[in-house]
């Protein structure tokens, strides 16, 4: 499944399949760039799992099979529910979903989320969850062996230090929490399961830095200091696990709405309208290099199983980026893609 297996047929039909999958009048509102047939050879033998928001409260988890080029819905969320993010286990293909269930009848102010496993026929298992309104379980990530789930737990009460964020690890079978990292968010697990990366939050300002730890969450070292970049977020490991990809906003960018000039960390304060690009941080040297030249708002990214391609979710849709050449094929959609992950089509 090397780079010679990726074809122009995949990239062009990916657009049409996802546009049809949206089931909305008008389909895609753009066309892909010209594809270089010499730069691509066959197909990606994998499928892209994505969380699509048709407009709250209307969400679905869907899969595009890159072999058959078919899109199908894995799970449509019930009316009144909400979804925040997903992850796919590298080996088993099992899907995790951070999900708010519909409010029970007669209960007002129901606002909390849990982490579920998604099967083709719906939600099969609630692993962990917040039972107090105003608390959430978000950013779910599988451990490499599938025995644990990492997720971010937010407190129900707002203190003078703000809403607390804790990165926790829970056993899949029992839901028991065995590890907690305070004031941390957005975890990423390396492909070999040896490392955990996360975004650390400075108490009071929410200024962000990028940390590296062991598989159990023990701190090892800082990969990007808070004063080294304007802001950062959405870390993921490269396909070979030797780098961490991270989104770094532009410090001179002007968002489409809102004022963020007084915020030390726009991403930390929930403002996702700041454009930027993806950068690679080498674990061994901490060297930082630019991966993309998008200058766009970004919500998520995921490397293909062979490591050559990076799929990214932006404010306008999905980009498919060739990490060998830097070429970008833009795919435009009417609906927001909020989370991405690849899994083997087998």
Q: Please give the mean pLDDT across all residues of the chain.
A: 76
- What confidence category does residue 99 fall into, taking pLDDT thresholds of 50, 70 and 90? confident
Q: What is the pLDDT of residue 21?
A: 39
Whether 207 shows a pLDDT value over 50: the answer reads: yes
Most confident of 73-82, 85-94, 125-134, 214-223: 214-223
Task: Please report which confidence band the pLDDT of residue 238 belongs to, taking 50, 70 and 90 as the band edges.
Answer: very high
Q: Which residue has the higher pLDDT, 165 or 164?
A: 165
Residues 277-317 pLDDT 10s: 999 999 999 999 999 988 888 889 999 888 888 999 887 77
- pLDDT tens-place string over residues 14-40: 433 443 334 333 233 233 333 333 333
Higher pLDDT, 151 or 43: 151
97-106, 201-210, 291-300, 309-318: which has the highest mean pLDDT? 291-300
Give pLDDT, residue 209. Answer: 94
Long-range contacts of 307-313 (CB under 8 A, 24+ apart): 307/238, 307/239, 307/240, 308/2, 308/3, 308/6, 308/239, 309/6, 309/44, 310/245, 310/278, 311/48, 311/340, 311/342, 312/278, 312/340, 313/50, 313/337, 313/338, 313/339, 313/340
Q: How far apart are CA 315 and CA 299, in angstroms?
A: 7
Q: What is the pLDDT of residues 52-95, one digit of tens each?
A: 887 666 788 888 776 666 778 888 888 888 888 999 998 888 99
Which pLDDT score is estimated for 255?
44
pLDDT at 226: 87
Note the pTM of the prediction, 2 decimals: 0.81
Tokens of 222: 């800082």
């Amino acid at each position: 499944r090397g780079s010679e297996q990726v074809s122009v047929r995949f990239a062009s039909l990916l657009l049409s399949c996802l546009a049809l999958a949206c089931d909305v009048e008008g389909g895609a509102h753009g066309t892909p760039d010209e594809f270089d047939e010499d730069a691509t050879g066959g197909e990606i033998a994998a499928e892209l799992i994505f969380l699509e928001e048709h407009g709250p409260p209307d969400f679905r988890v869907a899969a595009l099979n890159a072999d058959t080029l078919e899109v199908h819905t894995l799970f449509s969320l019930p009316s009144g529910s909400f979804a925040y993010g997903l992850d796919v286990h590298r080996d088993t293909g099992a899907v995790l979903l951070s999900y708010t269930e519909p409010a029970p009848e007669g209960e007002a102010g129901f606002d909390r989320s849990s982490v579920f496993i998604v099967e083709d026929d719906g939600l099969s298992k609630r692993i962990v969850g917040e039972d107090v309104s105003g608390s959430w379980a978000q950013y779910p990530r599988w451990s490499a062996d599938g025995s644990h789930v990492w997720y971010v737990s937010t407190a129900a009460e707002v203190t003078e230090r703000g809403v607390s964020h804790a990165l926790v690890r829970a056993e899949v079978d029992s839901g028991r929490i065995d590890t907690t990292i305070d004031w941390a968010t957005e975890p990423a697990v390396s492909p070999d399961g040896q490392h955990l990366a996360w975004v650390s939050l400075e108490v009071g300002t929410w200024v962000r830095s990028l940390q590296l730890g062991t598989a159990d969450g023990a701190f090892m070292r800082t990969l990007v200091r808070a004063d080294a970049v304007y802001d950062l977020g959405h870390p993921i490991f490269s396909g070979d696990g030797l780098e961490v990809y991270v989104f770094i906003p532009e410090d001179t960018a002007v968002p489409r709405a809102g004022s963020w000039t007084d915020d030390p960390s726009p991403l930390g304060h929930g403002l996702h309208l700041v454009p930027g690009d993806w950068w690679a941080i080498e674990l061994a040297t901490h060297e930082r290099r630019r991966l993309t030249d998008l200058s766009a708002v970004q919500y998520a990214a995921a490397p293909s199983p062979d490591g050559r391609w990076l799929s990214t979710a932006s404010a306008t849709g999905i980009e498919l980026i060739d990490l060998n050449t830097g070429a970008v094929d833009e795919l435009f959609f009417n609906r927001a893609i909020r989370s991405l992950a690849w899994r083997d089509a087998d």
